[in-house]
Amino acid sequence: MALCMYPELLKNPGNMFPSDVLERARKILKGFGPVGAYTHSKGSLSVRRSVADYIEERDGFPSNPDHIFLTNGASPGVQKVLQCLIQHKNVGIMLPIPQYPLYSASISLFQGIPVPYYLDESRETGWTLNLEEITRALQQARKKGTDVRALCVINPGNPTGNCLSKKNIEQIIEIAHKEHIVLLADEVYQTNVYSEERPFFSFKKILMEMGPDYADQELFSFHSISKGMVGECGLRGGYFECQGVDQHIVDQLYKVASVDLCPNNVGQILIDMMVRPPVAGDASYPLYKEEMGDIYESLKRRSAKLVAALNKLEGVFCAPAQGALYVHPQITFPPKMLAAAEAEGQVPDEMYAMALLNATGVVRCLCVRLTF
Ligand SMILES: Cc1ncc(COP(=O)(O)O)c(C=O)c1O
């Protein structure tokens, strides 16, 4: 990144940069041209090719750079897609609860209707996505006359830390296909996976494996430089891939992207670095491997530590995280606390969250789930 931003360094790098880094910076600059200039509105073709190669290698199925949009993080990508889907006030978008607020906020911004489906929480299996619940939520919304157009899935999950099984993903695709619903797969935590029994499978891979009967299933998949071991969230880089999406919609999205002229080039360069990291044999590989390994182990260790600490608290249960950067505990309130809340006319979980906030300053825990 430093070399791309200040190419003069390439002329006289001293011994500050390993040889493969110099070579890589030259290649990136060749693909980009001057880094201060606008790129294609979908993002630089050279970076989109790198992303397509990454997806092909990850999933074992072809990926078309023309169907990839580089964005200033996953969030603007999600927003662009939602903006195209919500074409009138009666459009419903299904979203998981608990969720990451990008979805509810964007649906509200574009004046769509949020159609919540509730994730299941069990002591045996942790957080899971229950298909009957999806069908219930869909039918209920349709009964009310809502034009349900899309289903958002966050996998691995924020804030639940669950990772969907292959079978579960297949079933979700089956429902979406049968019900003519577009799928939005938020996969920004795809490398934050901690359980060997529950590896990450992309929706794209599973959809492709389901064969030609599902070729018309429309899927948008999102990824980002903000998470994983890269974690450069302030530099704003992400992409989304359109699979099976009607060409007319891809063209509309291109028009919407053109309004922003182009995604920022720093973020684009970082996407290229994320999807094409140093490989064995490169001079910078040993350091890269060591740093990535350390970050991964540290995240995994801290996640387990947090779960253990929460499970030591009275009335608190927390399933181990299978992925992402979160755990979402279940808190069982004692009858005395429930009675106090009732006497004060307060909702118990809100009361708990406010007490927690006042006592500790912790504010991210506001979605406490109440159990009796
Ligand atoms: C599930 C999920 N999607 C998207 C985002 C936003 O990603 P970005 O920084 O790439 O916009 C986050 C950030 O926390 C997230 O948790």
Please give the Cα distance from 233 to 60 (Å, whole number): 28
**Beta pairing partners, 332:** 371
- Residue from 69, 188, 189, 326 to probe ligand 1 pocket by mutation (most atoms less than 8 Å from CB): 188
Beta carbons within 8 Å of 87's beta carbon, 6+ residues apart: none
Residue 154: per-residue pLDDT: 96
The residue ranges of the chain whose pLDDT is under 50 are 366-372
Please give the Cα distance from 245 to 45 (Å, whole number): 20
Q: How many whole angstroms from 103 Cα to the centroid of ligand 1?
A: 10
Structure pTM? 0.93
Residue 364: per-residue pLDDT: 60
Please give the Cα distance from 299 to 292 (Å, whole number): 11
Residue 366: per-residue pLDDT: 44
Under DSSP, the state recorded for 126 is E
E strand or H helix at 149: strand 147-154
- How many angstroms separate the most distant Cα atoms in the chain? 74
- Residue from 158, 225, 364 to probe ligand 1 pocket by mutation (most atoms less than 8 Å from CB): 158
In the block, residue with structure tokens 């579960």: 168
For ligand 1, residues with CB inside 6 Å are: 73-75, 100, 102, 154, 158, 186, 188, 224, 226, 233, 238
Residue 187: per-residue pLDDT: 98
- Atom of ligand 1 minimally distant from the CA of 154: 1
